[in-house]
Amino acid sequence: MKRRHLAAIGLAVYAAGIIAMAPATLVDAGLQRMSQGKLHLVEAHGTLWSGSGQIEIRDPGGRAGVAKSLAWRLQPESLLRGHLVGEVRLDQSGKVFPVILSLSGIELANADISLPASALGLGMPTLAPLGLTGDVLLHIAALSVERTQVRGRATLQWRNAGSVFTPISPLGDYELNFDGDGDGAAVQVLLHTLQGPLQLDGKGSWAIGANPDFFAIALVPPPQLDQLGPLLRLIAVERATGRFELQLK
């Protein structure tokens, strides 16, 4: 074997050893860059290949909003196929889901994520002042995120929805369906009501690097209008008695 081949193998082994011992805290830099500062990893333990910590979703001001426990395990041998395969677990009792990292982006599938409803205000700052309550359950059937494109399908349910500004609780259960199986330029979003006195229906789209463009109609039955009207007037325009229009951009 020629000396330059031996040198190359030696350098590769040395680099692999350095990476294998790299601390898990380096994951935080990647998360911040990928999420434009909205995701942070704190209290990290272990290495890049296998570690754990607390993943934080932060508001635009950089303050921590919601934290979840996170654990991961990567397969170094998958680098031979040009990408990095791993497994991730959110919450100690949560199920493991696969993740694929490459130079072009990230892919994941069959992931279930539960969050308090206040997380909706972190993603859409317009909603933050409403003091949203309830539980958000996100199921990602498949997701592929690249530099300028996003593809996949996901469903978000907001259960026992409520707000600190209304005595009616819950307002209902609602579902958002995300469809990014088109050209990858934007994800299409549909909102509908599963049950509850407040009827919400809407649609919109979201593209990487842009704010969501979303339009929704809220219908309030006459018996609940006095109690729900003040809340909806904070974020929506009342076009007719009990009919409100909400535009998020």
When pLDDT is averaged across residues 80-85 and rounded to a whole number, the result is: 84
| Cβ pair 68, 54 in contact under 8 A | yes
pLDDT tens sequence across 90-108: 987 778 999 998 888 889 9
Given a cut of 80, is residue 163 above it in pLDDT? yes
CA distance linking residue 166 with residue 159, whole number of Å: 16
Write down the pLDDT at residue 9.
Answer: 45
Write down the pLDDT at residue 143.
Answer: 92
Q: What is the pTM of this model?
A: 0.84
- Average pLDDT for the chain: 84
Write down the pLDDT at residue 11.
Answer: 44
Write down the pLDDT at residue 7.
Answer: 47
| Percent of the residues in the chain that have a pLDDT greater than 70, as a whole number | 88
Write down the pLDDT at residue 101.
Answer: 85
